[in-house]
Each structure stands twice: as C-alpha cells, then as structure tokens.
Amino acid sequence: MASTEQRLPTRERRPSTAAPIVDIVGSVSPAGISRPKHKRTFTGFGASEIKSVEAAIPEPQRDVWTKHQFEGFKTKDQFEKEVVRHVETTLARSMFNCDESAAYSATSLAFRDRLIKEWNKTQQRQTFADSKRVYYLSLEFLMGRALDNAMLNVGAKSTAKEGLSELGFRIEDIIGQEHDAALGNGGLGRLAACFLDSLASLNFPAWGYGLRYRYGIFKQEIIDGYQVEVPDYWLDFNPWEFPRHDVTVDIQFYGNVRKSQDENGKTVAFWEGGEIVTAVAYDVPIPGYDTPSTNNLRLWSSKAASGEFDFQKFNSGEYESSVADQQRAETISAVLYPNDNLDRGKELRLKQQYFWVAASLYDIVRRFKKTKRAWSEFPDQIAIQLNDTHPTLAIVELQRILIDVEGLEWDEAWRIVTSTFGYTNHTVLPEALEKWPVGLVQHLLPRHLQIIYDINLFFLQTVEKKFPNDRDMLRRVSIIEESQPKMVRMAYLAVVGSHKVNGVAELHSDLIQTTIFKDFVTIFGADKFTNVTNGITPRRWLHQANPRLSELIASKTGGYGFLKDLTLLNKLEEFVDDKSFRKEWAEIKYANKVRLAKYIKNTTDITVNPSSLFDVQVKRIHEYKRQQLNIFGVIYRYLKLKEMSPEDRKKQLPRVSIFGGKAAPGYWMAKQIIHLVNSVGAVVNNDPDIGDLLKVVFLEDYNVSKAEMITPASDLSEHISTAGTEASGTSNMKFVLNGGLIIGTCDGANIEITREIGQENIFLFGTLSEDVEDLRHAHTYGTHAIDAGLNQVFEAIKSGKFGDSNDFNALISAVRDHGDYYLVSDDFQSYIDTQKMVDEEYRNQDEWVSKCIRSVARMGFFSSDRCINEYAEGIWNVEPLAVGGN
C-alpha cells in the first residue's frame, strides 16, 4: 500500500528553532509586497494551478526572476568559465590539484546545468499541454555513460573538446573517467535506454520508472579463469541524478486483510499491519538529440520508514540492531536480480518488483488526480508499458488502488486497468516466464493475491462462457497454475490485464501467438497481439561509438540528418564502387581495431594483430545464446591448425576470437562456459606453433561503454542462438550498423536483418525454428549421434588439454547425455562450414568492404525511433509535443 500519511511517533521531535514552526506568525517580507505562498507538492503544480500561480506573481518580481534566469554556456569561453567555477566552488579544488577525475566532475556539472534548464522547461511544457503521457516501466535501464551522450545530444561536444584542451585535458580521458550506470544487464535494459533516447528525441511526453541499484548487478572480475562477482560501486560520484528527498512513498508488505461492509452494504477491504518501507525518488534527465526536449527517468531507492537509526537501541548497547531496519530496507534496491536459488532470494526479488511498481503507480495516480479529471479519463491521459513480466504486479496494484482506495466498482476499475497497460514480451523460453509460488505472494502481498484470484475467476468465467465444451482450456489459461506448489503465472496475468501484447521481432511475435499464448489468441482474437521489431538509437551506436564512420557517412549523405532519419543511409549505396570511399571505410575499421587491440593488451596482456579477422561474441552468457558452440568451434579450429604442416599453417587466415558477457551469479553452466573460454585461451595464446593464427580473448565486465569500443572494431559478430530462442537481439543491429558482418542462425531479428540487407551479406547456418522441436524429440526418444568433429573437440577436452576435464564434464554431458536441448551437435558441422566460408570471403577485402557498406546502407529500418513511432501509433495512442529546434 502506498500512502503519504506521516505516521507520527508518540514523541515527535520538533525543529530546533526558538518557536515551533506552526507558531511563527508575522510578516517575513517588506510591507506592501506579497506573493502566493508556495505549498510544496510532490509532483509540482497541475496545469490549472500553474497558470493561476503565474498570474498571481507581481510583475516586478517576475521581471527580476526572468532577468536572472540561468543560461547555460553557449561558447567555448563560457564553457571554460563554467568548468573552472565548478572546480573551484563545487569541488573546492584549484588549477593546481584538478586531476582528470575532477575535470570530469566539473565538465559533467557544466553540462548538467544546461540539461536542467531544458528539463524544467520540458516538464512545464508537458504539464501545460496536459496531453497523454507514456510511462515506461522497466526493471533495467542500461544507460551507459551520460557525459558523452549529453555532449552529442545538445550539440556541444566540439565546444567541450576545445575548452578542455585549453584547460589542459584530452576529452577522451575525461569521458573515460565516468562509471557506467549499473542499472541493467542485457538487451532488455539497453532497449529501454534506447527507447528513452528516442522518446526524448521525438518529443514524446514520457517518463521511465526503474530502481536505483546501489551495486548494480555486479562487477565481473576474472580470477584464474573463473567469474567472480564483486559490488559495482558506480554511485560514488553521480552528477546525473537528483535526489528528491521530498518525493517519498510508503510501501507496505506482509500484514493481513480485513473485510467489512460500508454504510451502503458494499464489501470493502483493508490491508493492515505488516512492514512499511519508504521509496525515495531520484531523477535522471534524458536529453533528446537536436531538440530541447529533456525527459525524466525516475529511479526509486529504498530506506527504512522508521528512520535509519534507532537511538533507543543504540543507547541500550544494541549497536548492530540500531541500524538493522535501515539495512533490511536498503537490500530491496541494493542489487539487480538478487540470486533466487534460495527462497529468501525469491522473496527479495518479488519484494523488489512490488516496491518499484507500487511507488511508480502512486506517483502516476497522484499526478493524474491533480488534473481533477474523472477516473474514466485515466486511459486517455496515461499509457503504461510493461517491459517484460517484471512489472506485472502494476496491473494488480492499479486495480487495488481503484477499488480499495478510490472506491470504484470492480468492472469500471478493470476497464480502466486493461485500457491503460500494454505488455511487451521478451522471451518464449518457459523458464524465463516468471512464476511466483502462491504461498510467497500470500505472505508478502496478501491483498494482491485476493485480487489476482478475483481477476482469474472473472477471466475464467468469460472463457467458460465462450468455450463451454473445452474444460481443459480453463486449466491451460488459468493465471493460477495448479501445480505443487501452486504458482501465479505472471505472463498470463500481463496478457489478461493489457489491451495490447507485442513481441519484439516478426519470428518472435509469430512464436508467442502459436506457442506460449496460443490459447489467448483464440480467446481475445489476433488483434490483441502485434509485433514491434526492436531497434537501436543511431545517436549512441553510430555517432557516439564510431565518430569517424559517422563523419564519413555524413559527408556522403548531406549532413547528420541520418541520425534522426536512419533511412537516409541508403544514399551510401551510390558509393560502393568508389575506391577512395572504400579505402577510407577500411582505414576507419582498421583504426577501431587498433584501439581495441591496445585495450586488450592493457587489460589482458594478450597481444593481438589488428589485421587478423576480429570475431566477436559479446552478450549475456546463456546456454541458448550458445557461447559453448562458439568455443567448441574455436577448439576445433585449434586442433585443425595443430594437425597442419608449418607450410599449410602459413596459408591460414589469422583470427582473434573475442568473448565478453556476464553469467548470472546462480547460473552454474554459464559460469562453466566462461571458465572453458579462459582455459582454452590460456593454452592457445601461449602455443608457439600457433602464434597470431588464433587468439582467444575474454574481456571482463562487459558493459555499454565497452560495447561502444568493441562494436566498431568487429569484422564478424556471432548471433548463434538456437533458432526460436532469441526474441530479437539488438547487438546484431549494432554490429551491422558499424560495418561488421554477422554469422548467425535464422532467429530473432537476424531474419529481418537478412531481408533488409540481402542474404548475400550475412552468413546464416543451422536448424530452422520449425524443425527444433522434432530434433529435440528425436534426441530424447530416438537415436542421437554426436557430430564427428564435435566428438574430436570433446575428446581433446577430456584428455586434459585445457586443464582438469572434470571442470567441463557438464558442458559435454549436456550435449552427449542430456538430449542436447540447444542443438549444439546438430548445428556444429553447419557452423564450421560457414566459418570456412567467412575465411574465404574475408581474403577478398574489396568485396568484404563492399558487403559492409551495402549492409550499413540498408539498416535504416532498425532505428529505435521507428519502434517508438510504431508503439505511439499502434499501442499508446499518443502524440509528440511540438517544440522549436535547437
């Protein structure tokens, strides 16, 4: 339950003033001058209030405010002045002790000051317009570094570069000081970040809502080849957030539900007792590109409602328990995806999800109530998008607010709820579709479980009416799974409680309608389901990550317009046969590879040759993404090289295999894959017979800023998930946009990328999704012969060539003995043959570069701007707000 009522302790401490605040009377301003007293409100004024307040401020006061309004820097001199001011006054340093870290802080603050100005104006403009607003709920926002993005989006990077140079700093060194915001892990969070960028760049009124993780998911260290998780202390200095200590929401857990009759004989429920935790808001400005629009990302942090320190306990000598409440509360927003192998971990995850959606909905509802509109207009003013199943409890929470707090009838409330929410599904993997034990929900959120049961009952009644002869359908679509123990199926709840459900690539959207949500298509009709293929923001993934390529493209396409309309890239096709253009293109790729090679040398002490083919697979480590197939392929290549004569070896194409990504702390198999990659690297990289012909590199702690360096340096990137398992993938888009080619399966967005860029510009292999189930069935119930080449690889591992074979037995037996669920053996020969084709084609550099140029030219479809326009039109029914350009 969210409430702002202050529970007053029995003895309230008064402010340390001569008189209690309420007793202060008399004027505190010169006679004859008055202005309306500003009563602090949690979300500022509503549209009507702000107009009346503005009218009530006397003209002379308004003039003074206007005269002294802050203006951000425009010129190099003004920028330098701002930086020096922040160094000297905010950081209390001087010319003599301003290091790169201080210069980063001062530069960020100078840009932040500029953003705040536009941010305030944007919020005022959106409030005045009082139009429909989008709220994007995502448990992850993988934002990356903010300074470089802010510089580019406000169009002042060259100003900052010159100014910093005159102050004695290189802009690259300053940008490199920033910690990545540790608010996500994989593609889900990066998609949310790209969407925020596009929403602001396209001038849509929108807010993001997430959690402010104190330690991120974790910082990955590789020690003796193993992943070790350590806290990510990214918040040590974060100039990009604004604590809103006055915007707090009390969130209730546990307790019990009491039902009684009101004076009209209506049954009302009261959720009582339990524990209260306070949510505190932190706001992050999100600047649009080439527009003054600056949207808001609001992150919630948890703290104890009772205060962080119990003086009584401390005085009694109970020093540890004097801070116990605070420590327990803080765990809620400490870490992204706490390990849920333990029951306590499961409870913490569910607690985290409710804490976040309850605080966000309280904020959204109170903002709506300021408009004094009828509840029936709620869906006309508000669109809430659920990014995957994590925020599904928002559906139940809004229903609870409407019926328990606001007193609406069930049917009216449910109509409002279902018209407000849209749900984006990101997976067809059954294990990734969240389910919570009924007992856990009952314990943690007793009122919500009652509402879930009611939602389910009314839903099943409508299904029963429609399909009276299909009793089994009721079991199949029930939100409550009748298993041991009973489970709440969150994906089903999300489908039932939303007006639109979308997949994130054509194949994925087809699969969800024919597999996991097949019955729901029958019940609701196909109109409820739609597809919005994912996209990426070209501002970060081309302009920021690869500035030289961006500049080259701008020189051929008539300026930087392609960053707002990516389809303008198609003009590049005219230059495919231009030798000097191809030469410059290849030089930029080589320079990016040199930069990555230096980074590899500095961080891993492995020397790689930049003229080798750079083969990259960087993403979350997961069996379905099949990093194991990649490393088995690397071992196979190594074994073949070892069999060759020295003369034959010289004819082979040198290759660097680059891996990166984190394994979830509780995911043992994924951690084994990381260990195998590092163990293979330790052998291959030190084999004098092999030299530069093959190098294996694992880059630790993969994140957005590392992706910005790796992506432009890739020749070939691997997107080799088992067909039908990857919903979309967006790193495939990033690699192609940066002039690299793909080796991949017919999965996710690879299919649409192939359609756009042409089959001749992508290396496809492997089983098709329609054959996967038959093969799995055959593995389990028929014969399952392991590919001969793969057997060679397994024997090499078992022989101890790469260290103790017992460490890797599970990876081998998953394929040999446990049904090879991810079809590693079935696809192995096809993978090896396709890699040979890659080697052949890479030798013809002229044709390879031409393929890269054609691919980039045809990537216009994969912009997140296109996605947002599709969501706005097909799901949210929301319009952009007109603003003047920069």
> What is the rounded distance in angstroms from the CA atom of residue 180 to the CA atom of residue 186?
14
pLDDT band of residue 437 (cuts 50, 70, 90) is very high
> What is the rounded distance in angstroms from the CA atom of residue 285 to the CA atom of residue 275?
32
Selected residue with higher pLDDT from 690 and 58: 690
> For residue range 825-847, what is the model confidence (pLDDT) as tens digits?
999 999 999 999 999 999 999 99
- Average pLDDT of the residues in 278-307: 94
Selected residue with higher pLDDT from 782 and 670: 670
Write the burial class of residue 190 (CB in 10 Å: 0-12 exposed, 13-18 middle, 19+ buried): buried
Strand partners, 749: none
> For residue range 200-250, what is the model confidence (pLDDT) as tens digits?
999 999 999 999 999 988 999 999 999 999 999 999 889 999 999 999 999
Active-site residue identified among 86, 132, 303, 426? 426
Q: What is the mean pLDDT of the chain?
A: 91
> What is the rounded distance in angstroms from the CA atom of residue 716 to the CA atom of residue 855?
13
Is 619 catalytic? The answer is yes
Non-local (6+) Cβ contacts of 605 within 8 A are: none
State the pLDDT at residue 1: 53
Please check the confidence at residue 264 and state whether its pLDDT lies above 90.
Answer: no
State the pLDDT at residue 340: 77
Please check the confidence at residue 9 and state whether its pLDDT lies above 60.
Answer: no
Q: What is the residue whose two structure tokens read 């802050």?
A: 70
Q: Is the dihedral of CA 843, 847, 852, 858 positive or negative?
A: negative
> What is the rounded distance in angstroms from the CA atom of residue 758 to the CA atom of residue 745?
15
pLDDT band of residue 43 (cuts 50, 70, 90) is low
Is 14 catalytic? The answer is no
> What is the rounded distance in angstroms from the CA atom of residue 344 to the CA atom of residue 336?
15
> For residue range 147-181, what is the model confidence (pLDDT) as tens digits?
999 999 989 999 999 999 999 999 999 999 999 99
**Comparing 48-57, 106-115, 747-756, which segment has the lowest mean pLDDT?**
48-57
- Average pLDDT of the residues in 488-508: 97
State the pLDDT at residue 777: 93
The helix or strand, by DSSP H or E, that contains position 275, with its residue range, turns out to be: strand 275-287
Q: What is the residue whose two structure tokens read 């596009």?
A: 198
Active-site residue identified among 159, 291, 392, 730? 730
DSSP string, 581-593: HHHHHHHHHHHHH
> What is the rounded distance in angstroms from the CA atom of residue 765 to the CA atom of residue 405?
56
Length of the chain (residues):
886
pLDDT band of residue 15 (cuts 50, 70, 90) is very low
- Average pLDDT of the residues in 759-788: 94
- The DSSP 8-state label assigned to residue 844 in this structure reads -
Active-site residue identified among 400, 719, 734, 866? 734
Is 734 catalytic? The answer is yes
State the pLDDT at residue 37: 52
Active-site residue identified among 582, 620, 671, 851? 620
Planar angle of CA 496, 498, 503, nearest 5 degrees = 100
Distance from the Cα of residue 800 to its chain's centroid: 40
Q: Which of 803-820 are b and which e, b meaning 16 or more Cβ less than 10 Å from the residue's Cβ? A: bebebbbebbebbbeebb
Tell me phi and psi for residue 253, to 5 degrees: -130, 160
Selected residue with higher pLDDT from 144 and 49: 144
Please check the confidence at residue 460 and state whether its pLDDT lies above 80.
Answer: yes
Active-site residue identified among 190, 447, 500, 619? 619
Summary count for the chain: helices (H), strands (E)? 35, 23
- Reply yes or no: is the peptide bond before residue 485 cis, omega within 30 of 0: yes
In three-state form (DSSP H/G/I as H, E/B as E, the rest C), the secondary structure along 786-811 is CCHHHHHHHHHHHCCCCCCHHHHHHH
Please check the confidence at residue 303 and state whether its pLDDT lies above 50.
Answer: yes
Please check the confidence at residue 33 and state whether its pLDDT lies above 60.
Answer: no
State the pLDDT at residue 31: 52
Task: Report percent pLDDT > 70 for the chain.
Answer: 93
State the pLDDT at residue 583: 97
Q: Look at strands 500-503 and 421-424 and give their pairing.
A: parallel
What is the phi-psi region of residue 819: left when phi exceeds 0, alpha when psi lies from -120 to 50, beta otherwise?
Answer: left
> For residue range 715-738, what is the model confidence (pLDDT) as tens digits?
999 999 999 999 999 999 999 999
Minimal CA–CA distance to 367: which of 36, 38, 121, 49?
A: 49
Is 730 catalytic? The answer is yes
pLDDT band of residue 11 (cuts 50, 70, 90) is very low
